[in-house]
Amino acid sequence: MTSTFPDTTISTDRLVLRPFEEADVPALTEMMADDQIAAWMGTPVPYTRTEAHDFVTRHAPGRRSSGEGIVFAVTELLTQRLVGSVELRGADWRVLSAEAVYATASWARGEGYASESLQAVAQWLFHDQKFERLEIRTAADNTAAQQVAQKLGCISEGVLRHAGIARTRTENWAIPHTGAGTHPRNWAVPHTGGGTLPRAGADTANGDGDWAEIRTDLIVWSLLPEDIDGSFEQLTPRAW
C-alpha cells in the first residue's frame, strides 16, 4: 500500500499553506508568468491559464494521491492573496526523505515569505510526518535561493555538475540590468517536478522575446530535524 501525506492546511502567524483551488488559477497564472520564475523553473513558457488549471486540478492533487509528495498554495493570512507555492516531491517513504521546490510571486519577494513557508513545511514534515530529511537544490547562480536555504539552517552537501537547466533571454532581447551577472535572480529554485524540460540549448518564446536554455550546476542542501530544533520559534506552525 502506497503511503500518502494527509490533505492538510498549515498556518503560521502570517501565512496559510493549503491545497490549491480552482479560484487560484488567475493568481497562479500571473505568478508563474514572471520572467524571473521562468528563468529558474522548468515551467512552460508562456505559462497560460490552461497550464495553471491543469496544475491545480490534476497535477497537484495527483502528487499527493500517488504518494510522491504534496503541493501547498501559500497565501497571506489577512488578505488570502496567493504569495507563492511549496511542493514536496520525490518522497521516499522508506528513507523518510523528500525534496522541496518553491516559488514566490514577484510582488511578495523580500518579505521573508519563502523562508517562513519552507520552515513551516519542514517542521510539519519532521514533527507530524516523522520524516528525517528535507533536501533543496539551488542553481549555482541563484544566490537568493541559496540565502533562503542558509537562513533555514540547511547544510550544503556538494555540487551536482551540469545537473540542471536554467533559462536566459537571447541576445535579441534587452536583459534588464540586475547588478550582478547575466541571469535574473529570484526566490525560486529550479523546478523538477512539473512537466518535461525541452532539450538543452533549445529556444522557447513568449510574447516578450526568446528564451535560451543553458546547463547549470545544482547545489544540494539538506535539512534534518536537529537542524531546526529550537529555531524559528515565532512561526509556531499549526496543521489543521
| 159-188: pLDDT as tens digits | 999 887 777 777 554 434 333 333 333 334
For residue 237, pLDDT beyond 60:
no
Q: How far apart are CA 233 and CA 50, in angstroms?
A: 40
The predicted pLDDT at position 38 comes to 78
Per-residue pLDDT, averaged over 202-208, amounts to: 42
Q: Which residue type does 69 have?
A: G
Instruction: Identify the pLDDT of residue 190.
Output: 37
How far is the C-alpha of 110 from the C-alpha of 14, rounded, in Å?
14
DSSP for 164-225? EEEEEE-TTS-PPP-SSSSS---SPPPP-SSSPPPPTT-EEEETTEEEEEEEEEEEEEEE-H
| Residue 194 burial by Cβ neighbours in a 10 Å radius (0-12, 13-18, 19+) | buried
The three cell numbers locating residue 108: 511578495
Q: 40-54, 122-136, 221-235: lowest mean pLDDT where?
A: 221-235
Q: What is the pLDDT of residue 171?
A: 59
- Whether residue 4 has pLDDT greater than 90: yes
Q: Per residue in 17-56, pLDDT tens?
A: 999 999 999 999 999 988 888 777 777 888 899 999 999 9
Read off the pTM: 0.78
Can you give the pLDDT at residue 26?
Answer: 97
pLDDT band at 238 (very low <50, low <70, confident <90, very high): low
| pLDDT (0 to 100) of residue 229 | 65
- Per-residue model confidence (pLDDT) at position 166: 78
Residues of the chain with pLDDT > 90, as a percent, come to 60
Checking if the pLDDT of 13 tops 90, the result is yes
Q: Which residue has the cell 490533505?
A: 7
Q: What is the pLDDT at residue 75?
A: 97
In 3-state terms the chain splits into helix, strand, coil percentages (rounded to 5) of 30, 30, 40
Given this model, what pLDDT does residue 202 score?
39
